[in-house]
């Protein structure tokens, strides 16, 4: 059954349009990942306006390939210049850069690209099987479960996305409050529509572009006088038998860690890479060599951050809950195409999720080939002046927001969210919880009120379903866990001080 | 809040020719300002929610105002907690790490130029506004050399025309 559906998806991917989208997406992803500071979220926010006029499958293939390729190429500047292209490639630099200093840049790059490919492959296989399984469970979800799921997803993102939980929750609440502007989803009454344009609410896409892409322009300007990373040497790719000798267990373990962490909403590829690196170091016979150019460090980091990409797609496709900022933006792209992610997607249009799975597998050899053969080009990309890049991104942000409704109103939304996003990040309030809240607010409110109406106004009705009750309990534990940890840490510190 | 100087001790204006100017303050003050801003947002929504209809066709429905009210109070509480944390940081210095904006005038300039660009665009057409906006952005972004600026301006205009007007059929202002 799965195989049959997979071939159905493969048919959709092996068309001229989808393959062109796949190839373009890989090139854009590599371009973005190779430039320190630019991330897949920025690229996706900028690219979504271009998908308006595309068919659904090539559009999602384009988005997925950008997401994946940017994680591949983030390792290139990390290894060659100690400047990770993406935050998730930071642990790669711990050992990649010392290897480059030892004259082993080619070996480090080959290890990183092949490990990325392995992590992707394992992650995709896990995704195919777990997604189908999760979708089967989620098919029985009713309004109570969906409300609890939204609460759980938002709690995880609020806790994991920011350093301080309070700031994560401020972002969440701000996003949820902004999402109440427009029509009440149950009664149809208007709420907070300061202008007639706001009748249908704050448009998601310009808000995404502003929060992730335009706000980044200001951060880029802060680095405009920094010298580009020095990567003068042309690394030579070294493919030798035995490159991965003794690393088999590390490859497998890191991929599994990456996938599992990727599934958790809010965790993402960076936490996956850091967790995997720490675990590889913990179980190693020679932990003291980590950070000094141990190839196992690169393998652990790269396997995990690429497997996490597939992991983040699992809650997106099966539950409609984004696992990362990038997948939150992808939800915006899917909704524009008229596709509602969730378990029903696997029932009503199974070819679509399987087309995504197929594109991940079809794209794998292309990504590895582009990475291995194009290293010299990706190195040169980092030399583009920041001012030119910032101007180009702003121009696309404005055009992209304008083309959303062919009016200036979304441009104002984009500019407003961009400037406020920059200021919020200065206050360490991350945009990811805001975006997730904007995406999930309607699902949360609608289902909350439906359940209450159906249950005669009794809030205990949320606890009558075991799945819903379980998710709410986990959400409560997630929210209270930082406080409990702080309390126990203080107690332990006090005990130690007494001793 | 301080404006720093460069290594020669000359005041920095943040213009592209300057080596590096920065605006610096403590995290505590930033948190107080952020907390007050979010509290004001929450307050605005709460006050506006007073005008929302409370009754619904279903007696068990929480109503149009219920969700915004709950969120508004929660945001107000969290914002005020952030203000308290910020004041604590400012008083004790614990965790009051520096928050820096490098090249503040360039950043303010880019924000201002972009806002004016969006304001002017409907009156002078997209191409009319862009031909001025791109060079300004490039100069504020530290790009030097008029050949580069001319090349990038023309490239931006041609790319916008080809991709948006020709390929995507978007009618630009």
State pLDDT tens for residues B75-105: 999 999 999 999 999 999 888 899 999 999 9
- Whether B86 and B156 map to the same domain: the answer is no
Say how far apart CA B99 and CA A470 lie, in whole Å: 41
A391 vs B42, B107, B137: nearest CB: B137
**Longest distance between any two alpha carbons in chain A, whole Å:** 71
- Whether A134 is in a domain gets the answer yes
- Whether A59 is in a domain gets the answer yes
DSSP for B77-130 reads: HHHHHHHHHHHHHHHH-TT--EEEEESHHHHHHHHHHHHHHHHHHHHHHHHHHH
Closest-CA residue in chain A for B138?
A: A387
- Whether B87 and B115 map to the same domain: the answer is no
pLDDT value of position A22: 94
Q: In what order do the strands lie in the sheet with B98-102?
A: B2-3, B22-26, B98-102
Tokens of B93: 């210095």
B68 vs A180, A218, A402: nearest CB: A180
Alpha-helix runs per DSSP H in A287-383: 295-319, 325-336, 343-348, 351-373, 375-381
Smallest Cα distance from B167 to chain A, Å: 9
Phi-psi region at A233: left, alpha or beta (left = phi > 0; alpha = psi -120 to 50): beta
Other C-beta atoms closer than 10 Å to the C-beta of B151 total 12
Partners of residue A406 in chain B, C-beta under 8 Å: 170-171
- Whether B91 and B159 map to the same domain: the answer is no
Alpha-helix runs per DSSP H in A102-201: 105-138, 143-161, 165-179
Quick check: A114 and A241 in contact, CB under 8 A? no
Query: What is the extent of the structural domain holding B155?
Result: 103-173
Number of domains in chain B: 2
Smallest Cα distance from B3 to chain A, Å: 15
pLDDT value of position A436: 84
Pick the more confident residue, A380 or A51: A51
- Whether B78 and B25 map to the same domain: the answer is yes
Mean pLDDT (whole number) for B142-171: 89
- State whether B45 and A395 contact (CB < 8 Å): no
- Whether A93 is in a domain gets the answer yes
Under the banding of pLDDT at 50, 70 and 90, the label for residue B145 is confident
Mean pLDDT (whole number) for A194-219: 86
Closest-CA residue in chain A for B149?
A: A388
For CA atoms A243, A247, A252, A258, the dihedral sign is negative
pLDDT value of position A230: 62
Mean pLDDT (whole number) for A295-321: 91
Other C-beta atoms closer than 10 Å to the C-beta of A125 total 17
Other C-beta atoms closer than 10 Å to the C-beta of A456 total 9
Residue A391 has pLDDT above 60, yes or no: yes
Q: Which has the minimum average pLDDT: A344-348, A361-365, A373-377, A412-416?
A: A373-377
- Whether B31 is in a domain gets the answer yes
pLDDT value of position B79: 97
Tokens of A228: 């580009």
Other C-beta atoms closer than 10 Å to the C-beta of A282 total 9
Partners of residue B30 in chain A, C-beta under 8 Å: 426-427
- Whether B7 is in a domain gets the answer no
- Whether A466 is in a domain gets the answer no
Partners of residue B140 in chain A, C-beta under 8 Å: 221, 387
pLDDT value of position B4: 45
Phi-psi region at B143: left, alpha or beta (left = phi > 0; alpha = psi -120 to 50): beta
Partners of residue B7 in chain A, C-beta under 8 Å: none
Quick check: A475 and A266 in contact, CB under 8 A? no
- State whether B156 and A395 contact (CB < 8 Å): yes
- Whether A159 is in a domain gets the answer no
Closest C-alpha among A161, A182, A180 to residue A171: A161
Q: Which residue has the tokens 């979010």?
A: B38
Q: Which has the minimum average pLDDT: A253-257, A322-326, A349-353, B47-51?
A: A322-326
Partners of residue B122 in chain A, C-beta under 8 Å: 408
Residue at which a domain ends, from B99, B130, B151 = B99
- Whether A156 is in a domain gets the answer no
Q: Which residue has the tokens 């007007």?
A: B165
Mean pLDDT (whole number) for A230-235: 61
Closest-CA residue in chain B for A221?
A: B141
Closest-CA residue in chain A for B62?
A: A449
Smallest Cα distance from B138 to chain A, Å: 6
Mean pLDDT (whole number) for A133-160: 87
DSSP for A51-87 reads: GTTS-HHHHHHHHHHHHHHHHHHTHHHHHHHS--SSG
Residue A471 has pLDDT above 60, yes or no: yes
Residue B8 has pLDDT above 80, yes or no: no
A173 vs B34, B75, B85: nearest CB: B75
Best mutation target among A50, A173, A444 (most B Cβ atoms within 10 Å) is A173
Tokens of A11: 């048919």
What's the full length of chain A, in residues?
A: 499
Say how far apart CA B105 and CA B118 lie, in whole Å: 20
Closest C-alpha among A170, A279, A274, A233 to residue A379: A233
Other C-beta atoms closer than 10 Å to the C-beta of B43 total 14
Q: Which residues contact B99 (CB under 8 A, 6 or more apart)?
A: A426, A427, B24, B25, B26, B27, B30
- Whether A464 is in a domain gets the answer no
CA angle centred on B39, ends B38 and B40, rounded to 5° = 90
Query: What is the extent of the structural domain holding A408?
Result: 2-142+197-433
- Whether B34 and B95 map to the same domain: the answer is yes
- Whether A467 is in a domain gets the answer no
Smallest Cα distance from A333 to chain B, Å: 16
Query: If you count residue pairs, one on A and one on B, with CB atoms under 8 Å apart, how many are there?
Result: 175
Residue A272 has pLDDT above 70, yes or no: yes
Q: Counting runs of H as helices and runs of E as strands, what totals does chain B give?
A: 4, 3
Closest-CA residue in chain B for A391?
A: B137
Q: Which has the minimum average pLDDT: A35-39, A303-307, A414-418?
A: A35-39
C-alpha gyration radius of chain B: 24
Mean pLDDT (whole number) for A363-376: 85
H/E stretch holding B2 reads strand B2-3
- Whether B89 and B113 map to the same domain: the answer is no
- State whether A426 and B171 contact (CB < 8 Å): no
Smallest Cα distance from A224 to chain B, Å: 7
Cβ neighbourhood burial of A225 (10 Å; 0-12, 13-18, 19+): middle
Best mutation target among B15, B39, B62, B71 (most A Cβ atoms within 10 Å) is B71
Other C-beta atoms closer than 10 Å to the C-beta of A428 total 17
The interface predicted TM-score (ipTM) is: 0.88
- State whether A177 and B71 contact (CB < 8 Å): yes
- Whether B71 and B111 map to the same domain: the answer is no
Q: What is the pLDDT of residues A40-58, one digit of tens each?
A: 888 888 888 888 788 889 9
H/E stretch holding B50 reads none
Closest C-alpha among A26, A5, A22, A7 to residue A57: A22
- Whether B168 is in a domain gets the answer yes
Say how far apart CA A357 and CA A161 lie, in whole Å: 27
Tokens of A32: 């973005």
Number of domains in chain A: 1
Task: Indicate the pTM of the whole model.
Answer: 0.84
Closest C-alpha among B126, B158, B112, B111 to residue A406: B126
Smallest Cα distance from A405 to chain B, Å: 10
- Whether B81 is in a domain gets the answer yes
Mean pLDDT (whole number) for A11-39: 88
Average pLDDT across chain B, whole number = 86
- Whether B61 and B41 map to the same domain: the answer is yes
H/E stretch holding A248 reads helix A248-263
pLDDT value of position A427: 93
- Whether B162 and B115 map to the same domain: the answer is yes
- Whether B60 and B87 map to the same domain: the answer is yes
- Whether B126 is in a domain gets the answer yes
Quick check: A480 and A176 in contact, CB under 8 A? no
Smallest Cα distance from B11 to chain A, Å: 17
- State whether A177 and B41 contact (CB < 8 Å): yes
- Whether B32 is in a domain gets the answer yes
Under the banding of pLDDT at 50, 70 and 90, the label for residue B56 is low
SS3 A347: helix
SS3 B5: strand
**How much helix, strand and coil, in percent to the nearest 5, is found in chain A?**
75, 0, 20
- Cα dist from B5 to A57, A203, B12, B29, whole Å: 54, 42, 5, 22
- State whether A448 and B67 contact (CB < 8 Å): yes
Smallest Cα distance from A180 to chain B, Å: 6
Say how far apart CA A434 and CA B129 lie, in whole Å: 32
DSSP for A254-299 reads: HHHHHHHHHHSTTTHHHHHHHHHHHHHHHH-S-GGGTTSS-HHHHH
Under the banding of pLDDT at 50, 70 and 90, the label for residue A234 is low
- Whether B166 is in a domain gets the answer yes
Say how far apart CA A326 and CA A59 lie, in whole Å: 15
- State whether A456 and B110 contact (CB < 8 Å): no
Residue B9 has pLDDT above 50, yes or no: no
């Amino acid at each position: 059954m799965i195989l049959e559906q997979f071939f159905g998806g493969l048919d959709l991917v092996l068309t001229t349009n989808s393959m062109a989208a796949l190839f373009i997406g890989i090139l854009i992803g590599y371009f973005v990942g190779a430039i320190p500071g630019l991330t897949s979220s920025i690229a996706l926010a900028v690219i979504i306006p271009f998908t308006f006029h595309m068919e659904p499958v090539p559009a999602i293939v384009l988005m997925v390939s950008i997401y994946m390729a940017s994680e591949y190429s983030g390792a290139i500047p990390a290894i060659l210049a100690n400047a990770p292209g993406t935050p998730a490639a930071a642990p790669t630099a711990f050992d990649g850069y010392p290897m480059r200093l030892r004259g082993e840049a080619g070996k480090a790059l080959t290890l990183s690209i092949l490990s990325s490919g392995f992590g992707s492959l394992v992650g995709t296989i896990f995704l195919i099987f777990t997604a189908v399984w999760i979708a089967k469970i989620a098919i029985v979800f009713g309004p109570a479960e969906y409300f609890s799921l939204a609460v759980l997803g938002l709690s995880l993102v609020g806790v994991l996305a920011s350093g301080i939980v309070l700031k994560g929750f401020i972002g969440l609440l701000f996003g949820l409050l902004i999402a109440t502007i427009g029509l009440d989803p149950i009664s149809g009454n208007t709420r907070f529509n300061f202008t007639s344009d706001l009748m249908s609410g704050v448009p998601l896409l310009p808000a995404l572009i502003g929060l992730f892409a335009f706000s980044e322009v200001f951060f880029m300007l802060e680095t405009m006088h920094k010298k580009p990373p020095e990567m003068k040497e042309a690394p030579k790719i070294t493919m030798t038998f035995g490159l991965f000798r003794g690393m088999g267990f590390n490859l497998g373990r890191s991929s599994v860690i990456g996938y599992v962490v990727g599934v958790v909403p809010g965790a993402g590829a960076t936490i996956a890479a850091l967790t995997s690196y720490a675990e590889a170091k913990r179980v190693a016979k020679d932990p003291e060599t980590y950070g000094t150019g141990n190839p196992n460090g690169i393998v652990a980091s790269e396997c995990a951050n690429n497997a996490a990409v597939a992991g983040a797609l699992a809650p997106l496709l099966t539950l409609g809950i984004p696992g990362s900022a990038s997948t939150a933006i992808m939800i915006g792209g899917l909704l524009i195409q008229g596709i509602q992610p969730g378990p029903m997607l696997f029932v009503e249009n199974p070819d679509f999720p399987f087309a995504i799975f197929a594109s991940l597998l079809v794209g794998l050899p292309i990504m590895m080939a582009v990475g291995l053969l194009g290293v010299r080009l990706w190195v040169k990309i980092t030399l583009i002046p920041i001012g030119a890049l910032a101007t180009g991104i702003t121009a696309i942000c404005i055009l992209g927001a304008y083309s959303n409704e062919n009016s200036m109103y979304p441009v104002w939304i984009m500019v407003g969210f961009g400037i406020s996003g920059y200021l919020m990040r200065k206050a360490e309030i991350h945009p990811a919880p805001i975006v997730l809240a904007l995406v999930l607010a309607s699902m949360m409110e609608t289902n909350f009120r439906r359940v209450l109406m159906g249950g005669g106004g009794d809030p205990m009705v949320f606890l009558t379903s075991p799945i819903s009750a379980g998710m709410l309990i986990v959400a409560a534990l997630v929210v209270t866990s930082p406080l409990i940890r702080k309390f126990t840490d203080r107690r332990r510190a006090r005990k130690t001080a007494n001793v | 809040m301080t404006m720093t100087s460069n290594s020669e001790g000359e005041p920095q204006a943040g213009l592209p020719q300057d080596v590096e100017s920065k605006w610096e303050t403590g995290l505590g003050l930033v948190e107080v300002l952020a907390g007050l801003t979010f509290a004001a947002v929450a307050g605005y929504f709460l006050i506006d929610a007073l005008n929302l209809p409370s009754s619904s066709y279903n007696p068990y429905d929480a109503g149009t105002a219920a969700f915004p009210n709950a969120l508004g109070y929660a945001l107000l509480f969290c914002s005020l907690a952030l203000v308290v944390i910020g004041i604590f940081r400012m008083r004790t210095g614990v965790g009051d790490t520096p928050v820096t904006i490098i090249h503040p005038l360039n950043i303010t300039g880019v924000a201002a130029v972009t806002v004016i660009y969006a304001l002017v665009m409907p009156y002078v057409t997209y191409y009319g506004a862009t031909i001025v906006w791109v060079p300004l952005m490039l100069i504020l972004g530290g790009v030097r050399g008029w050949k580069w600026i001319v090349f990038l301006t023309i490239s931006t205009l041609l790319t916008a025309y080809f991709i948006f007007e020709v390929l995507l059929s978007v009618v630009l202002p």
